[in-house]
């Protein structure tokens, strides 16, 4: 449809002596269209559209009544009108109901400000795949921010397990040269094991770790991530600013670069809410932090020495665990991990790992600890038999040990 302004322009140009071809080239309209509007005395009008009734029309009164009763769920309404004979699609129904839906009101979030030294917020953030010890692994950012000053600490790791979580906390405490009264967490499994309206339960070992430094853990309400909005903002800032810069694609370089970024950029830039830099406000907050340097670092692992018995076992807390046969008679180191396992080490490396036994089970063994030793022993015994024909030795099949592997021998 030609516009009113274009209609008058065509007639004006023609009246000034322009040819139809010239008017066509000027306006872009076809010469036939030009001739049509030159001869036309009245303004162009829109054609009337003969609108057909909607397939939904017979059911609109019913739908309006249901909306008045408070039902605006289209899936429910569709089921109901289909039962009444409706053969149309969901799309028409949604278009009809949409104007009657109240626009969802955005819930206002009151920013919760805390006094100096009162609270920190902590979270993990996945940042991608990077080289770790010569191989590509998923890498995560440990992020902690002090509530009052917005002072930030960030460290990259290839694990989010409990031991790593506690190590990162201690590194953050060293960076801040102190600890807050409380730390706010979301419902990550390494920290919070249960969260209901009536009960919040933290991982016992993690709770012991925080208690060692005099810190009270707090958990966000489920589905309320804005509760820890300060650390969420830092995560976003990290991804949009630091991660967009050029870095060597390995874990070591990331941690070197992020420390420089924290000191020169992130903790110097004025905060949008406080209008002051974190470093400036940290001058006050640091005086209110608990002194974490008065205590030695929290012991993440406890080592014990054990001697390997003649049958290639060590004893730990009343249970017996196998080690490779070649360590019989030697002393080894035993460490209990945070994943409820024990790891057994010689002077240089881990030689065995077992789940910690509970209940009535008293022995845990692994067949591979015996196969090589038995083969060597059998060879030695065969040699001895050739030299001493009168010596009788009991010979056992490896099936005997296969049946015992991982079983209760007590």
Confidence of residue 58 (pLDDT cuts 50, 70, 90): very high
Q: Tell me which residue range forms the domain holding 27.
A: 4-39
Question: Model-level pTM?
Answer: 0.53
* Position 49 in a domain: no
For residues 354 and 260, give the distance between their C-alpha atoms in angstroms, rounded to a whole number: 41
* Position 108 in a domain: no
271 and 325 share one domain: no
For residues 34 and 15, give the distance between their C-alpha atoms in angstroms, rounded to a whole number: 12
For residues 351 and 161, give the distance between their C-alpha atoms in angstroms, rounded to a whole number: 22
pLDDT of residue 102: 63
Between 218 and 112, the more confident residue is 218
- State the maximum Cα–Cα separation within the chain, in Å, rounded to a whole number: 135
* Position 110 in a domain: no
* Position 259 in a domain: yes
Tokens, residue 20? 């139809």
Between 227 and 357, the more confident residue is 357
| Overall average pLDDT of the 344-350 stretch | 88
**Number of independent structural domains in the chain:** 4
* Position 173 in a domain: yes
| Overall average pLDDT of the 281-295 stretch | 90
* Position 378 in a domain: yes
* Position 409 in a domain: no
Closest CA to 124 of 190, 208, 25, 26: 190
31 and 134 share one domain: no
34 and 64 share one domain: no
219 and 346 share one domain: no
Which residues face 201 on adjacent strands? 194
- Cα within 13 Å of Cα(346), Cβ side: 13
For residues 166 and 142, give the distance between their C-alpha atoms in angstroms, rounded to a whole number: 11
For 143-178, the pLDDT digits (tens) are 999 999 999 999 999 999 888 999 999 999 999 999
137 and 15 share one domain: no
- Angle (CA) 201-204-205 rounded to 5° is 145
Using the predicted structure, report yes or no on whether residue 1 has a pLDDT greater than 80.
Answer: no
203 and 250 share one domain: yes
Closest CA to 180 of 69, 290, 319, 31: 290
312 and 388 share one domain: yes
Give the torsion through C-alpha atoms of 155, 160, 164, 169, to 10 deg.
Answer: 50
| Overall average pLDDT of the 98-117 stretch | 68
Q: How far is CA 390 from the centre of its chain?
A: 69
Strand residue runs (E) in 203-356: 216-219, 303-307, 313-316, 319-322, 331-336, 341-345, 350-355
268 and 390 share one domain: no
192 and 334 share one domain: no
For 196-237, the pLDDT digits (tens) are 666 677 888 888 899 999 999 988 866 555 567 899 999 999
328 and 258 share one domain: no
Run of H or E residues at 37: helix 31-39
186 and 233 share one domain: yes
187 and 138 share one domain: yes
* Final residue in a domain of this structure, among 265, 294, 323: 294
pLDDT of residue 385: 41
Do 37 and 6 meet the contact criterion of CB atoms below 8 Å apart? no
Confidence of residue 71 (pLDDT cuts 50, 70, 90): confident
* Position 186 in a domain: yes
For residues 200 and 216, give the distance between their C-alpha atoms in angstroms, rounded to a whole number: 13
Do 144 and 122 meet the contact criterion of CB atoms below 8 Å apart? yes
Tokens, residue 303? 């080592």
Q: What is the spatial order of strands in the sheet that 152-157 belongs to?
A: 152-157, 135-146, 119-132, 182-185, 216-219
């Amino acid at each position: 449809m030609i516009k009113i302004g274009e209609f008058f322009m065509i007639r004006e140009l023609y009246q000034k002596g322009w040819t139809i071809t010239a008017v066509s080239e000027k306006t872009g309209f076809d010469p036939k269209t030009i001739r049509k509007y030159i001869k036309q005395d009245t303004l162009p009008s829109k054609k009337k559209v003969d609108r057909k009734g909607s397939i939904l029309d017979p059911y609109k009164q019913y739908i309006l009544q249901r909306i008045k009763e408070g039902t605006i769920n289209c899936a429910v309404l569709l089921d109901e009108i289909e039962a009444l004979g409706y053969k149309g699609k969901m799309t028409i129904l949604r278009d009809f109901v949409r104007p009657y839906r109240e626009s969802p009101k955005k819930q206002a979030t009151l920013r919760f400000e805390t006094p100096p030294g009162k609270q920190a917020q902590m979270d993990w953030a996945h940042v991608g795949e990077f080289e770790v010890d010569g191989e590509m692994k998923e890498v995560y950012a440990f992020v902690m921010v002090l509530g009052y000053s917005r002072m930030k600490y960030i460290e990259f790791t290839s694990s989010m397990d409990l031991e790593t979580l506690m190590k990162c906390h201690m590194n953050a405490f060293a960076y801040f040269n102190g600890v807050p009264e409380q730390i706010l967490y979301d419902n990550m499994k390494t920290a919070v094991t249960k969260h209901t309206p009536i009960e919040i339960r933290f991982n016992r070992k993690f709770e012991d770790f925080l208690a060692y430094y005099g810190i009270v853990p707090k958990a966000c309400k489920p589905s309320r991530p804005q509760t820890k909005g300060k650390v969420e903002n830092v995560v976003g800032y990290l991804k949009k600013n630091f991660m967009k810069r050029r870095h060597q694609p390995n874990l070591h370089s990331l941690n070197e670069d992020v420390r420089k970024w924290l000191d020169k950029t992130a903790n110097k830039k004025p905060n949008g809410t406080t209008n002051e830099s974190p470093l400036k406000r940290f001058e006050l907050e640091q005086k209110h932090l608990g002194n974490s340097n008065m205590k030695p670092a929290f012991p993440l692992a406890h080592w014990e020495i054990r001697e390997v018995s003649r049958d290639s076992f060590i004893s730990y807390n009343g249970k017996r665990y196998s080690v490779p046969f070649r360590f019989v008679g030697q002393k080894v180191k035993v460490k209990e991990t945070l994943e409820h396992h024990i790891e057994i080490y010689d002077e240089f490396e881990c030689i065995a790992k077992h789940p910690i036994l509970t209940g009535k089970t008293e022995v845990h063994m692994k067949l591979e600890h015996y196969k090589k030793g038995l083969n060597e022993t059998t060879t030695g015994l065969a040699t001895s038999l050739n030299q001493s024909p009168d010596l009788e030795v009991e010979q056992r099949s490896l099936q005997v040990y296969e049946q015992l592997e991982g079983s209760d021998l007590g």
